[in-house]
Amino acid sequence: MADHPRRPRTLNDARTEAEAAFKRATAKVAEAPPKRNNVPGTKEQVTLRLDQDVLEHFQAGGPGWQDRINEALRKAAGK
């Protein structure tokens, strides 16, 4: 390796390097993940807060209470 004398850095060199580094870091825009197509009949897990008396009403019917809540919400949505 040859021993080359270093030239002193100037303010313009530092600024140019900083601007180039910033441009490289900010030039690419992150792409949103592709939107999934929902398959008819599939369900999505969500967290839902219900009043205790409403939850007890649906759970009193035994197993399938989540399906009954889904049907009630579907009916309320007009579907």
- CA dist 66 and 72 (Å) reads 10
Question: What pTM does this model have?
Answer: 0.49
| Nearby residues of 68 by Cβ (< 8 Å), 6 or more positions away | 58, 61
Arithmetic mean of pLDDT over the chain: 82
| Nearby residues of 59 by Cβ (< 8 Å), 6 or more positions away | 65
Residues in the chain: 79
Residue with tokens 């441009």: 23
Q: Over range 42-67, report the average pLDDT.
A: 92
**Could you report the per-residue pLDDT of 8-45, keeping only the tens digit for each?**
666 667 888 888 888 777 656 677 777 777 777 788 88
**Model pLDDT, residue 78:** 92
pLDDT at 76 over 90: yes
Rg (the chain; Cα; Å):
30
Residue with tokens 């792409």: 31
User: What does the domain layout of the chain look like in residue ranges?
Assistant: 45-79
